[in-house]
Amino acid sequence: MRPYFLLAAVRVRIILLCLALCTVLAGCSFEAWIGLVATPDDQAHARGLVDRLRARDHAAIERELRPDLRTPELRKTLEAMAAAVPAGEPRSVTILGAHKDTGPGGTRLTLDIEYEFEAGWMLARVTTEVQDGVRSVIDFHVQPRSRSLAAEHRFGLAGKSLLQYGVLAAALASLALIFYALYRCVRTRGLAKKALWVVFILLGFGQLAVDWTSGEWRFVPLHLQLLGAGLTAPPGGPWTLSVSLPFGAIIFLLREWNGALPMKGTGTAAPPQ
C-alpha cells in the first residue's frame, strides 16, 4: 500500500471519528436534557401534585393554584379528575416532555408525565408559573389512556400511506448510495482533497420528513442531514422519518463514472477499482 494512500485513509478515519463524536454529543440523553430545563425540585413538585390528586387531597391542590383559578367549580373539577386516575400505585413514572418560557411576567414551566398503572396508563400535564419568587400552578389536567404513547407510536409498516412508504424507500436508497459512494471514495487512490470529498458525500441536502403515526409531512429546502436519512422520536412521541438528497454521493459517482475525479499532481482521473 502506497504511503499517500495510508495518509489519506488516516485522514478519512479521523473525519469519520469526529462526525461520530458530534452525533453522540448532539444525541445526549433525554434525561440530561430534561434536567437542564426542569430542576429536580420542579420535577418533584409536579409529581407531588399528581400524588395529592390520587390521595384526593383537593384542598392542598387548591392552595397550589393561582388565586384567580380558585373558582367555585374547582372542587367538582378536581373530583372528576381524581375519579379518572387508575386505581393502585403506579408501576412507573416517566417525564416525557419539558418546556420553559421566560418573559417579563415571570417563568412558566410545563411538564408532561406518563404514569403506568396495573389497570392502564395516564398522562398528566402540570404548568407552573414563577413570579417574584412565588410559584403557583396555572394549568393541571390528567388523561387516562388504554396504552402507553410508546405503544401508540410504535414504528410499523402496516396501514401506512404511499407517501410514507415512498419516504422510507427513498431513505434506504439514500443511505445505500451514500455508503457505496463513501466506499468508492476511500478506495480511490491518489484522489485530491479526499477528506473534503468524504464530508461532501456524507451530507444530504434538503429534507422531506413525515410523521410515521399521523402521516403529516414537511419539506425544508435549506437543510443539511448526516447520512441523508434519519429516524427520530422523543420519549413517548411519534417517529419522524426524514430523507435528504444525497447530492454529494451522486456528484462523486457521476464524476467517477465520467473519469473526471481530480487526482493529486496529475489532474487525471482515478483508474477504476
pLDDT for residue 12 is more than 90? no
* Residue ranges of E strands in 168-202: none
pLDDT for residue 27 is more than 50? no
More confident call, 25 vs 107: 107
pLDDT for the residue 30: 61
pLDDT for residue 270 is more than 70? no
Average of per-residue pLDDT across 146-170: 88
Q: pLDDT by residue (tens digit) across 28-58?
A: 456 677 777 889 999 999 999 999 999 999 9
Supply the mean pLDDT for the chain: 84
Please give the single-letter amino acid code of residue 225. Answer: Q
Average of per-residue pLDDT across 127-133: 90
pLDDT for the residue 153: 79
Cell of 79: 373530583
Compute CA distances 46 → 38, 51, 71, whole Å.
Answer: 10, 9, 21
Q: pLDDT by residue (tens digit) across 80-89?
A: 999 999 989 9
Compute CA distances 128 → 45, 137, 222, whole Å.
Answer: 9, 4, 37
pTM summary value: 0.62
Q: pLDDT by residue (tens digit) across 92-116?
A: 999 888 888 888 878 999 999 999 9
pLDDT for residue 2 is more than 60? no
- The CATH 3.10.450.630 portion of the chain extends over 38-152
Q: How confident is the model at residue 229 (pLDDT cuts 50, 70, 90)?
A: very high
Q: How confident is the model at residue 26 (pLDDT cuts 50, 70, 90)?
A: very low
Check whether domain 38-152 has CATH 3.30.420.40, yes or no: no
pLDDT for the residue 29: 58
Please give the single-letter amino acid code of residue 184. Answer: R
pLDDT for the residue 167: 94
127 with 138: CB under 8 angstroms?
yes
